[in-house]
Amino acid sequence: MTTPRPAAVLVLAAGEGTRMRSATPKVLHTLGGRSMLGHALTAARELEPGRVVVVVRHAREQVVEHVRAIDPAALVADQDATPGTGRAVQCGLSVLDAAAHADLARDRAPDEPTHAETSGAVVVVAGDVPLLDGATLGELVATHVADGNAVTVLTTEVTDPTGYGRVVRETGTGDVVGIVEEKDADDEQRAITEINSSVYVFDAAALRGALGRLGQDNAQGEVYLTDVLGILRGDGLPVRAVRTDDPLLVEGVNDRVQLATLRAELNRRTLEDWMLEGVTVVDPATTWVDVDVELAPDVTLLPGTQLHGSTVVGVGATIGPDTTLTDTEVGARATVVRTHGTGAVIGPDATVGPFAYLRPGTVLGEDGKIGTFVETKNATIGAGSKVPHLSYVGDATIGEQTNIGAASIFVNYDGVSKHHTTIGSFARTGSDNMFVAPVTVGDGAYTGAGSVIRRDVPPGSLAVSSGAQRNIEGWVLRSRSGTEAAEAAARALAERGDDDGLSPQARAERARAGQAAHSAAPGPPPAAVRPASAAQRTDDSLPAPTPKDDTR
């Protein structure tokens, strides 16, 4: 059966919500990834009404800004200082009538009427009933139209009706005689367990006529919308109710305790729906999924998983444990473990985590890997490429089948501007590298461990920027004497017989240096002219003796 389209939906969002004890307007508090007002507007739009109007007053600017963000086509009506839901609907209907008149003035032919008002079914919902859905509203509208009612109210029965308006029915017919608010009810009426949900469908003309006869003669001094039902009943018009067997569907929120209760219930229903669609939820008690998340069959959600916003998870993917994803796309058969991600895209068969942080703009290709303690931002990582450990990849493009060594940093910020790094395909970068952007490493290139890459590396090249290692032997004994380190070094040297504080390598180098110096010394002169050595000479002031003449 096709649901009739109502002329309009009025969403009441003017209340102050003092019991929330919050600077945030009550209707802007969230559950399931939407504000309570967002839930109301979503349900309203499912009816495909001619117009939607939101009635505002307290924290007007915040509420209107939110309405403009989530439903730009919605009209806004301002409630004046007169309190009460009746006055709120009156203000909303005036805006609807003004819009109808403007349409007529714009489109009418010269011989057509010059005045127009909203006609047909007008749905009224409260902005703080977040579990109410479009299907329930559709059934209410269909019943209203089929029965030709002046007003149809949605009701439910509860064990403890304290605080709610009681629905008084006519014996025999079951038609609604009226709704009595808690403070105005007598003892007999307070015993009634059927309550008003504050959800109605009115005939616009009947509503308009009754609103003009409302007063404030009641315990709270407000203009009650509920009084309209009694007025229309008195006019002999049909006033009926549709009762739902699901009290939580129409439960309102007045404080944070009620908000938490309905948040948990909404999540339970969301998970139940997905499990019936073929999703495995290992531990529903610790798994939270927003209402706009999309899950494919055979997805597995492990304990501690939270999926928020517009997150989409593909067939056969596994998320969790202890993973939070917001507005993130996860491809088929991907695995995401102990990861926090926002605004990221994870390709099919990719693996992420544990302890990874994916910031907005991260794109991981098919069969790629972002591993343990890796942070990424504005980074495209190609198919089959891996960033396995302890790295930061920001403002970068990495090609296909490339491996980024552990402890790599893409240095993208100079204190003023961000710069881009490009790593080609099939590249292999060493551990503890820094890529100082802007810089490009070509396809198939390698970089050595500990390198700081400041200049472009051509394809197929090996880039090494680290200097030779230098050991300063005995430095600790000389410069840190008396410390535990010096004492430990002395013991180790003594055990090896190195009392001079030099290692065997250092002593060997010293010996080689001595040999080299000895070899470089000048050799002895011929014997006839050989000067006496110091050892040979007893007094350098005496001349050497003259040899004897043996021929004589």
Extract the annotated binding site. Answer: 12-15, 26, 79, 84-85, 128, 165, 181, 196, 254, 359, 377, 392, 403, 406, 412-413, 431, 449
**What residue type is assigned to position 337 of the chain?**
V
Secondary structure of residue 431 in the 3-state scheme:
coil
Question: Position of tokens 């117009």?
Answer: 51
CA separation for the pair 300, 317 (Å, rounded):
6
CA separation for the pair 399, 388 (Å, rounded):
15
Tokens of 21: 């004890």
Binding-site annotation, residues for acetyl-CoA: 406, 412-413, 431, 449
Q: DSSP secondary structure string, 284-339?
A: GGG-EE-TT-EE-TT-EE-TT-EEETT-EE-TT-EE-SS-EEES-EE-TT-EE-SE
- Set 389, 419, 420, 518: catalytic member: 389
Secondary structure of residue 156 in the 3-state scheme:
strand
Phi, psi angles (nearest 5°) of residue 139: -65, -40
Does the annotation mark 144 as catalytic? no
Q: DSSP secondary structure string, 5-69?
A: PPSEEEEEE----GGG--SS-GGG-EETTEEHHHHHHHHHHHT--SEEEEEEBTBHHHHHHHHHH
Half-sphere exposure (CA, 13 Å, Cβ side) for 445? 20
CA separation for the pair 466, 495 (Å, rounded):
34
CA separation for the pair 134, 54 (Å, rounded):
17
**What residue type is assigned to position 363 of the chain?**
V
Q: DSSP secondary structure string, 243-290?
A: EES-GGGG----SHHHHHHHHHHHHHHHHHHHHHTT-EES-GGG-EE-
Q: Could you say which DSSP state residue 523 is in?
A: P
Residue 321 preceded by cis peptide, ω within 30: yes
Residue 388 preceded by cis peptide, ω within 30: no
Note whether 131 and 262 are within 8 A (CB): yes
Tokens of 430: 């060493």
Residue 175 burial (C-beta neighbours within 10 Å; 0-12, 13-18, 19+): middle
Binding-site annotation, residues for Mg(2+): 128, 254
465 contacts: CB under 8 Å, gap ≥ 6? 448, 451, 452, 453, 454
Residues in the chain, overall count? 552
Please identify every residue annotated as catalytic.
389
